[in-house]
Amino acid sequence: MFPDILASIAAKHGWELQYVPGTWSQCLERLESGEIDIMVDVAYSEERAKKYLFNDESLLTNWGVIYTSADVYVHGIEDLKGLRVAVMKNSIHTVSEEGILALLAKFSITPSQYIEFQSYKDVFIALDTGQADVGIVNRIFGSVNEALYNVVKTSIIFNPRQLYFAFPLQAKRSKELKKVIDEELRILKRNKYSAYHNALDRYLSVRAMAPSHEAQGAGGPEVALTDEERAWIREHPVIRFAVDPEFVPFEFLEEDGSYHGIASDYVKLLSERLGITFERISTKDWAEAVEMARNGRVDVLPCVGRTGDRKNFLLFTRPYAQFQRVIVTRADAPFITGLEDIASLRVAVQVNTSHEGFLRENTEIEPLLSETLKEALLAVSNGKADAMVGNLAAAAYWIRKLNLTNLKIAAPAGTEELNLHFGVRSDWPEFVRILNKGLVTITPQEEQTIMQRWVGVEFKTGIDPTVVRKYVVNITAVVLLVLAVILFWNYRLKREVAKRRVVEAKLRYSGELKNLLSEISTDFVNLEYPDFDNGLRQAMEKVCRMVEGDGAYLCEKNENKSWSCDRYWESGLSGRGVRDLFASPTDAETLWLSKELLAGKVVAVDSVSAMESGMVPNSRDIAGRGVGAFIELPLKYGREIKGLLSIVCKGDGREWTSDEKDFLQITGQVFTNVFMRRDYESSLHTRSQELQEANRKLKDLDKLKSMFIASMSHELRTPLNSIIGFTGVILSGMSGELSDTQKDQLGRVYNASKHLLALITDVIDISKIEAGRVDVYVEEFNLRNVVNEALTTVEQQVKIKGLAVNMAMDEEVIMRSDRKRVLQCLINFISNAVKYSEKGEITIQVELSEDMVDISVSDTGIGISEDDLPRLFEAFERFESHLKVKAGGTGLGLYLTRKLVQDLLGGDVRVKSELGRGSTFGLRIPMDLETVEKGGNPNGMEEEA
Ligand code: ADP
């Protein structure tokens, strides 16, 4: 799609396009480095938007879909636990915030392994060849390619994304390209017949999803083989295959040894379309055919089911026919419902068939092996065995043919439909792909023709010639007979037509069910918190209308294990009555029909009046509320039943078809997924609200604390000032001579009080800043004067220690800022430099860059160790050194300085220091505070060590 659309834009603007091929990761790298100008088909994410420029008009929406290999069953994402998951490297559905990695992490689901591939195609191949259990691809790739591989699509979809063009962030042309493309896209989207809409039609319509049948010429449709595949076929001129001689109607041999049946038609069609010569190798029976395939003496078995054992030596194509596995017993045998009931019986099965494999893999039954299906049936018929397991169509054929009137088809063995595939020797994966490509060109009509041709076989009513001979003497009788035959055929024809109509209607209905399912899934993907209730209700209405129900009820298990039924959709049913029925169970133990539902089974009741007694509640209770038939689906998270979805019909005696049951079962899973998402998002929502509340409270408390300290400190400072004042006066001798002891002790009082005052002053400042109660007074001043003023406060100390002071300031700096605060910061830096130096010099350097002033104070003092540096600007941090006591201090100076610079002066502080060598403290603030936006930190400097 993208190349088509881009080509039309390029043509209009005279661009020459050159495509640079690469894997997805390579392409992304090239885009980032600017090696390419445009990348097509890039899903948007915030993460990516930091690296690339996206255009504004999206082309379409895509999302992630989970596929599995043919023998893995996944119903919800929790089933991915412990599985091997194939993903494409750097795909948006792998690594973005809502990609599969993040999604599984959110739900704490850990697969056994993630296997990374360079393309989605490789992901499918990995599923096909059994290297992975589950694979993630996008929906478009999936729908176009799923038919080519042996993969199964699940109903789990996630991470909807818009697709765009992307450009390198740095490149000069990007902005221009983006602008042109967006403008053109807007025009293309408006015009219904534009390249944009053509591309959508061409690649995304239902027609496009199926392989093209338009090109169908005399030799059937063209199969899109690659050069390598054609070469492979040339190199393998003859393919040897072996068959089951009596697998009617799927494949069988006539007396003359000719090959017939559904599979034979597929072999013929594929041979024509792919230009392959198939050669049949004769075998005594099916067992021998399988043996020969195992030993590599034949290449293909055209009609096999998958079993664990066969996987050791065969690869399988996509299935092309289905059959049902059934249990056959004698007609007088006790009633059985499934495999459980024959566990202790003698069970016959045809050797080396998928049925044998099935029994061995899934049951404890030790089967009695028969060479042929016929023998297995005879064994049951004459009492050597109690039951046999085999396929329905073939068993029915032989029962009829052998006229085994004492046998009956007793029950299905397992519920799944079994697939028939071409089995290909395991070292020929190329051939599997070639056959798959051939198989997808076979149209539904062709499939139907083949089925009709062979499925009728067992009903062939031959008229016995001896019967005719017997009556031929009597002309009237012949006429009557002919008449009867004609009538009979007419009658059959009518019945056939009626039957076919029903089949067609069923097919159509089943298609509609599938469409609705994908519609609902898509709706749910687009749901946003907290819209789930509405979404669920709408989906329930759609589902209910589709299966012609009169009401849909969604009951949920609450936190306290009680049940409620707040979500429902009804048409013509009497509200509360039915709802109570579904909501009344107070705990899972007394649930309706609890046993089946708890086991996760769907319970479908066609006729309430004919309901078995012993069900809870009983049929009269239900019928009394206007319910004639219903179906219930358990909604399960893992093992736990979270809810029940019930569809109710007023009329008694409605038949729930297997299509409907399947559809509802999957719908149930989709609903469960929505529940999970809703629960997850609502708990996230509550939690983030709680956090916000807690945060707000904390902030209030913090402010309160700061205000308290601010006022307390003020109360403390007043008496302290008088203590210092009067002690000073006494010390100066103005109020009389003092003894040396008195002088010494009073001196301590004086120093301690001054320390206390400094502490309180700093605390007040800090508290005020933290409480947001400091106003900034901006005025114009000359920075040199402020530096000089700061230096005078340390003059005395500098002289005593014999330190040199240098000032490097090239030009006069006139600033507009809070002079008092700038001075305070400088005093803190300079006084520290003096306090923590014993010799050498102190250098003050002022530099200008753009609108910022950078002032640094360097000393040649004791320095600060690397370990201490990170805590330097924290409150009350004072580091161990021989000067610690002598220098005196509060440990608040640097903390306060940083607060002043960051919160009031709009700048930042930094430090660089080496133990024993000296330190440089710096601050960088705007020259003009008023031109800087409030609250911003314009330079973002960080501490450097
Ligand atoms: P104080 O009141 O203790 O000086 P400050 O917050 O100003 O509090 O400094 C915190 C600590 O950082 C000091 O106790 C000292 O250990 C260290 N420090 C500050 N400036 C220097 C410097 N120029 N040289 C060495 N150490 C310093």
Cβ(919) – ligand 1 distance below 6 Å: yes
**Is the CB–ligand 1 distance for residue 875 below 6 Å?**
no
pLDDT for 295 equals 93
Between 281 and 758, residue with greater pLDDT = 281
What are the DSSP E strand ranges found in 71-193? 84-88, 113-117, 134-138, 151-168
- 828 Cα nearest atom in ligand 1: 7
Tokens of 936: 């911003």
Tokens standing for residue 244: 């089951």
Determine the Cα–Cα distance for residues 200 and 141; give it in Å rounded to an integer: 14
Shortest-distance Cα residue to atom 19 of ligand 1: 832
Among the atoms of ligand 1, which is closest to the Cα of residue 758?
2
Q: Give the range among 316-330, 635-649, 816-830 with minimum mean pLDDT.
A: 635-649
pLDDT for 469: 40
Quick check: 381 and 406 in contact, CB under 8 A? yes
Cα separations in angstroms, 212 against 220, 306, 307, 698: 11, 29, 33, 66
Residues 428-466 as b/e (b if ≥16 CB within 10 A, e otherwise) read bebbbbbbbbbbbbbeeebbeebeeebeebbeeeeeeee
Closest CA to 159 of 522, 481, 434: 522
Strands, sheet with 629-637, edge to edge from the N-terminal-most edge strand? 563-570, 551-557, 640-649, 629-637, 603-605
Which residue's CA is the closest to the ligand 1 atom numbered 13? 878
pLDDT tens, position by position, 413-431? 875 667 889 999 999 988 9
- Burial state string for 498-515 with b = 16 or more CB within 10 A and e = fewer than 16: eeeeeeeeeeebbeebee
Beta carbons of 634 and 668 less than 8 angstroms apart: yes
- 895 Cα nearest atom in ligand 1: 6
Dist CA 197 CA 189 (whole Å): 7
Task: Provide the β-strand partners of residue 52.
Answer: 168
639 to each of 73, 78, 597, 683, 865, how far by Cα in Å?
15, 10, 12, 21, 58
Nearest to 555 by CA among 586, 534, 529, 528: 586
* Residue 86: pLDDT over 90: yes
What's the gap in Å between 826 CA and the centre of ligand 1? 14
Asked if residue 832 has its Cβ within 6 Å of ligand 1, the reply is yes
| pLDDT attached to residue 231 | 93
What's the gap in Å between 116 CA and the centre of ligand 1? 54
Residue with CA nearest ligand 1 atom 8:
891
Handedness of CA 344, 350, 351, 354 (dihedral sign): negative
Range 718-724 average pLDDT? 85
- Tell me the CA distances in angstroms from 723 to 709, 719, 730, 736, one per residue in order: 21, 6, 11, 18
Nearest CA to ligand 1 atom 25: 863
Q: What is the pLDDT of residues 121-160, one digit of tens each?
A: 999 989 988 899 999 999 888 887 887 788 888 878 888 8
832 CA → ligand 1 middle, Å: 6
341-369 residue pLDDT tens:
888 889 999 988 888 888 888 888 899 99
pLDDT of residue 679: 76
Q: What is the pLDDT of residue 807?
A: 92
Residue 892 CB–ligand 1 contact under 6 Å: yes
- Cβ–ligand 1 distance for 608 under 6 Å, the answer no
What is the average pLDDT across 801-822? Answer: 92
Taking the centre of ligand 1 as the mean of its atom positions, its distance from the CA of residue 759, in whole angstroms, is: 14
C-alpha–C-alpha distance, residues 462 and 823, integer Å: 116
Tokens matching residue 509: 């209905």
Whether 499 shows a pLDDT value over 80: the answer reads: no
Rg of the chain (C-alpha set): 43
**How many whole angstroms from 835 Cα to the centroid of ligand 1?**
8
Query: 3-class DSSP state for residue 942?
Result: coil
Report the percent of the chain where pLDDT is more than 70.
Answer: 88
Confidence at 678, pLDDT banded by 50, 70, 90? confident
Compute CA distances 366 → 133, 274, 295, 349, whole Å: 30, 43, 26, 10
The 10s digit of each residue's pLDDT in 582-626 is: 655 544 444 455 567 767 777 888 888 777 665 555 666 777 777
pLDDT value, residue 698: 85
Q: Are the beta carbons of 99 and 65 closer than 8 angstroms?
A: no
Question: How many angstroms separate the alpha carbon of residue 842 from the centre of ligand 1?
Answer: 15
Residue with the bigger pLDDT between 415 and 382: it is 382
- Residue 605 pairs in a beta bridge with 630
Mean pLDDT of all residues in 787-797: 90
Centre of ligand 1 to C-alpha 180, Å, is 59
Lowest-confidence segment of 259-273, 676-690, 869-883, 923-937 by average pLDDT: 923-937
More confident residue, 750 or 682: 750
864 CB-contact burial (10 Å; exposed 0-12 / middle 13-18 / buried 19+): buried
Nearest to 409 by CA among 316, 331, 292: 331
Kindly state the DSSP code that residue 148 receives in the 8-state scheme. G
Average pLDDT, the chain: 82
**Is the distance from the beta carbon of residue 922 to the nearest atom of ligand 1 less than 6 Å?**
no
Q: Which atom of ligand 1 is nearest to the CA of 896?
A: 6
Span 165-192, average pLDDT: 91
Q: Is residue 890 in contact with ligand 1, taking CB distance under 6 Å?
A: yes
pLDDT for position 590:
46
571 contacts 550 by C-beta, under 8 angstroms: yes
**What residue owns the CA closest to ligand 1's atom 18?**
832
What is d(CA 900, CA 824) in angstroms, rounded to the nearest whole number? 9
388: which strand partners? 328, 348
Q: How far is the CA of 538 from the centre of ligand 1 (A)?
A: 68
Contact 244 CB / ligand 1 (< 6 Å): no
Strand partners, 1: none
Q: Point out the ligand 1 atom lying closest to the alpha carbon of residue 881.
A: 16
Cα 546 to the center of its chain, rounded Å: 28
Ligand 1 centre distance from Cα of residue 840 (Å)? 18
Q: How far is the CA of 241 from the centre of ligand 1 (A)?
A: 89
Q: How many helices (H) and strands (E) does the chain have?
A: 31, 33
- How far is the centre of ligand 1, averaged over its atoms, from the C-alpha of 872 (Å)? 8
Q: Which atom of ligand 1 is nearest to the CA of 889?
A: 2
DSSP code for 323: E
Q: Tell me, using a 6 A CB cutoff, whether residue 896 lines ligand 1.
A: no
Determine phi and psi for 223, rounding to 5 degrees.
Answer: -100, 130
SS3 252: strand
CB 283 within 8 A of CB 372: no
Q: Is the CB of 891 under 6 A from ligand 1?
A: yes
Q: How far apart are CA 583 and CA 557, in angstroms?
A: 9
Q: Is residue 872 in contact with ligand 1, taking CB distance under 6 Å?
A: yes
- In angstroms, the CA 80 to CA 408 distance is 41
Substitution site in 757, 798, 824, 832 for ligand 1 pocket (most atoms within 8 Å of beta carbon): 832
